[in-house]
Amino acid sequence: MFEGFFSGGIIKRALQKGLIEINVRNLRDFTTDKHRQVDDRPYGGEEGMVFKPEPIFAAVESVRQSDKTPVYLLSPQGRRFDARLAEEMARHPQIVLVCGRYEGVDERVAEHLATDEISIGDYVLTGGELAAMVVVDAVARFVPRVVGKEESVRHDSFFEGLLDYPQYTRPREFRGMKVPQVLFSGDHKKIEAWRRKKALEKTRGRRPDLLAGRQSSPEEKHLLDQIDNERNKR
Ligand code: ADE
């Protein structure tokens, strides 16, 4: 599953440049029985299978370089992964991600091995691998020099708690659809102000939850009032 992810785009380049290193472990290689069994039936009786703790503890111990290395268990029960957490993860020299499957993972992994349990969203995937790739991708972007201009990472959606402003490129007019005039003004202050307002407008419309958890400057409050007035008029 991981091969495709490693072999293209920014992740491939970061690996080649040695900016990041990714080591994948197969839990079956950390079993001790003949059948290389990583799962078993749940105590208490229920359908499905549950990951056994021993292979997970052994696999994590084989890769963890320090007691300080955080271990994240990926599961729908986890705390929500976001840009803040991605940036925090990127500051560690190493992180370990544990992927679950089946009905779940023996709770002793969450309680005694994992630093934190992480979910990438309110839906259930067939396995944690895809979630791990999502996390690695988002974290890698915060590793210095992985993304061309480090600056751009800090201006991306969510980093400042807002969605991105809209972008346009040539042609100036396409099937009667025009690029906003302000972008040709050459007035950088004006363009900056327009972008800020558009970002706020988008965030207000689609993700009011992001604004609710945000300390707005007086200038931003003013813009938001303006946006609300314009919306009410429509
Ligand atoms: N494994 C299955 N679903 C998941 C989710 N939403 N987030 C993280 N890991 C998962």
Question: How far, in Å, CA of 223 to CA of 201, rounded?
Answer: 9
State yes or no: is 82 an active-site residue: no
Answer yes or no: do 98 and 181 share one domain.
Answer: no
Residues 18 and 73 in one domain: yes
Residue range(s) defining the domain that contains residue 7: 2-140
Picking from 140, 163, 197, the residue at the C-terminal end of a domain is 140
Residue nearest to atom 7 of ligand 1 (CA): 119
Within this chain, do residues 124 and 181 fall inside the same structural domain, yes or no? no
DSSP code at position 72: E
* Nearest protein CA to atom 6 of ligand 1, as residue: 76
Together in a domain, 202 and 136: no
Residue among 117, 124, 130, 133 to mutate when testing ligand 1 (max atoms within 8 A of CB): 124
Is 103 annotated as catalytic?
A: yes
In this structure, what CATH number is given to the domain that contains residue 184?
Answer: 1.10.1270.20
| Count helices and strands in the chain by DSSP H and E runs | 10, 8
pLDDT digit of tens for each residue in the chain (234 aa)? 999 999 999 999 999 999 999 999 999 999 999 999 999 999 999 889 999 999 999 999 999 999 999 999 999 999 999 999 999 999 999 999 999 887 899 999 999 999 999 999 999 999 999 999 999 999 999 999 999 876 678 778 787 889 999 999 999 999 999 999 999 999 999 999 999 999 999 999 999 999 998 888 999 999 999 999 998 988
3-state SS assignment for residue 119: strand
CA of 134 to the centre of ligand 1 (A): 10
Tell me the pTM.
0.93
| Catalytic status, residue 156 | yes
Residues 116 and 181 grouped into a single domain: no
- Whether 124 lines ligand 1, by a CB cut-off of 6 Å, is yes
d(CA 105, CA 223): 48
Helix (H, G, I), strand (E, B) or coil at 165: coil
Residue that has been written with the tokens 């303006």 in this structure:
226
Q: What pairs with residue 117 in β-bridges?
A: 73
Q: Judging by beta carbons within 10 Å of its beta carbon (0-12, 13-18, 19+), is residue 87 exposed, middle or buried?
A: middle
**Same domain for 123 and 198?**
no
Structural domain count, the chain: 2
Asked, for residue 150, whether it belongs to a domain, the answer is no
* Token pair 């939850």 in the structure block, residue: 209
Active site (annotated) includes residue 76 = yes
Q: How far apart are CA 64 and CA 43, in angstroms?
A: 29
Same domain, 105 and 201: no
**d(CA 121, ligand 1 centre) in Å:** 7
